[in-house]
Structure 1
């Protein structure tokens, strides 16, 4: 299967640069994959497509303000650090720009000296392992000094950090938001619950690898990045009972989808589990547990559009993307959404 088969032409002006004032006012493309029918709604209408006894599975990861701007001690040269993964209490794997200045032993200062970082080793892919020095609580210092690590296609500054967080985010550790969940408000979730829909949470910490382009020509040759997930016993019980009672398991976002499909057995059951997943879902994959999917509109030739094309018919999805461009839907992280069932 060719990567170029997942290409579509996207006008730059359709890439959403900022979130809408009201989260649930974004547009919603509803696709019935059996009837191959498309409807145009708004996200708050999602409740009309959810049934009592369904289970909505949300990713409760919280994005770290992981972009740090500082300078090199001694020279004053400007530096940018992006936190990728915590190694232990004070050590992190980071991306550093410009990398040539980040030699082992070099020290960097952030803010008014509240935070210092020393490069202690190199890592894979050009990243660095750094050790931080600070007084107090690291997360509080990071919240004060750090910026949201917005995707490279968003060039405008985000005024409110919370708009790149879901309203139910709680487990800190992501380098990017699970963007399908950005459309939910607390009020909408309360209405959904009142309708008799169960709401369950999983955690998958989204890595920057989610933005890594597919460089292979053949889909099967792409190596997927690895991300950490957690699913507790309460969530496992909710999901298993939903299946047993004939309800649908509805994944909110590709991250929830990948978590569930990584854990589920061949009988469509899950258990409490945590670990790392590098599952790569593309057309031909047989879904074990997910019955419906809420997702945003993704980049051409990305692993995410491949996952969506696996969930529904590939030609149906690529056709729907053409419709989305024609109807001027907003794309990517702050863009509109799609519901596939």
Structure 2
């Protein structure tokens, strides 16, 4: 089966509209579907039972990027005239201390247009970036800019989230470096208790950093072409050393999230050896991509026809993936950042 045919109908009730904690369960008690990437065999558990499926000597690699609020509302002006009293600007990618790529929702912005977000914060549009994104330059930069963003912006939420949730709900427990405009949600189900339990059992933990951009662009018809989706990443030397030791000892390198896969598979040299690296990646991974570093994946459940399904097909045959997703729907697994989890190993 071609990955483009991994299409399925997702019932609305399976869109997780609220965090598990607001549904009366702990974050590490969401459901877990375990998929054997070789045989297609499926098992069902809860995430706090992860230790039953990973082995001593395996390495879990987590994304330490912390979610920032990225949705700003402000007055939109052109040549001094008010174009809209309230326009929504979604930050997509930080370019430098003052400039961002952003999405102006339901607004056709021109170079020179201005936005007033607060008495202390405004921005000017410099023009289009990769359509439909625009480049904006704020009146502040660095820490002063981030202070205003935290004071006035909200976390991005899509139509299946019916009410606003506080920023804390969009964080993993171990996130430490602010920069992601969408939560690296594959790690949300981890609690410190579970991480410590795994470490005591002999599972190793390492970290990378990849700041996620917007995954959904309404004006472009949905998910953007990953080849234009540059994201900033860093894979430190200590993580590379842990990966090499794991490989030498026959353990599995398990990425917690598609962001970690992109970061690790971007950090290889000409001889296909993992190396410490930082920069920007637009690596597009699909069924034809030979994985050099990662051989296991923890992920949430992805929407029909999402580009993430292409990445998952590098781990498991699309037919097996389709069967697993069909079973997950039948058993009432929940989708998206507040939903249930999938281990492919």
| More displaced stretch, 298-307 vs 128-137 | 128-137
Instruction: Give the match for residue 309 of structure 2.
Output: 305
Shift in Å at residue 2 of structure 1?
5.1
TM-score normalised according to structure 2 size = 0.89
Instruction: Give the match for residue 211 of structure 1.
Output: 216
Tell me, yes or no, if the aligned pair for 1:267 and 1:288 is still in contact at 8 Å: no
CA distance in 2, matches of 1:124, 1:63: 23
- C-alpha distance after superposition, 1:261-301 (max 9, x if no partner): 22235876311101222222222332222121111110111
Shift in Å at residue 88 of structure 1?
2.3
Match of 1:61 among 59, 65, 69: 65
Q: Secondary structure at the match of 1:118?
A: strand
- C-alpha distance after superposition, 1:133-166 (max 9, x if no partner): 249722121111110012x343322322111111
Change (3 A) 1:283 1:105: closer
CA distance in 2, matches of 1:104, 1:283: 40
Instruction: Give the match for residue 15 of structure 2.
Output: 15
Instruction: Give the match for residue 111 of structure 2.
Output: 104
Change (3 A) 1:106 1:229: same
Q: Would you identify which runs of 4 or more consecutive aligned residues in structure 1 move more than 6 Å?
A: none
Unaligned stretches of 5+ residues in structure 1: none
Shift in Å at residue 94 of structure 1?
1.6
Answering whether residue 275 of structure 2 is matched by residue 263 of structure 1, we say no
Q: Secondary structure at the match of 1:120?
A: strand
Match of 1:79 among 76, 82, 87: 87
TM-score normalised according to structure 1 size = 0.90
CA distance in 1, matches of 2:9, 2:206: 36
What is the 5 A alignment of 1:181-330?
181-208=187-214, 210-211=215-216, 223=227, 225-265=229-269, 269-330=273-334
Match of 1:332 among 327, 331, 336: 336
Shift in Å at residue 322 of structure 1?
0.6
What is the 5 A alignment of 1:131-210?
131-134=137-140, 137-150=144-157, 152-208=158-214, 210=215
CA distance in 2, matches of 1:293, 1:92: 31
Shift in Å at residue 239 of structure 1?
1.0
CA distance in 1, matches of 2:67, 2:101: 16
Count of aligned residue pairs for this structure pair: 332
Change (3 A) 1:35 1:266: farther
CA distance in 2, matches of 1:54, 1:202: 16
Tell me, yes or no, if the aligned pair for 2:3 and 2:318 is still in contact at 8 Å: no
Unaligned stretches of 5+ residues in structure 2: none
Shift in Å at residue 57 of structure 1?
0.2
What is the 5 A alignment of 1:113-132?
113-132=119-138
Tell me, yes or no, if the aligned pair for 1:205 and 1:227 is still in contact at 8 Å: yes
- C-alpha distance after superposition, 1:291-332 (max 9, x if no partner): 211111101112211221220121111000110110010012
Q: Secondary structure at the match of 1:310?
A: coil
CA distance in 2, matches of 1:261, 1:20: 31
Tell me, yes or no, if the aligned pair for 2:240 and 2:274 is still in contact at 8 Å: yes
Match of 1:91 among 92, 99, 107: 99
Q: Secondary structure at the match of 2:139?
A: strand
Shift in Å at residue 60 of structure 1?
1.0
Match of 1:42 among 34, 43, 46: 46
Tell me, yes or no, if the aligned pair for 1:30 and 1:340 is still in contact at 8 Å: yes
CA distance in 1, matches of 2:228, 2:305: 14
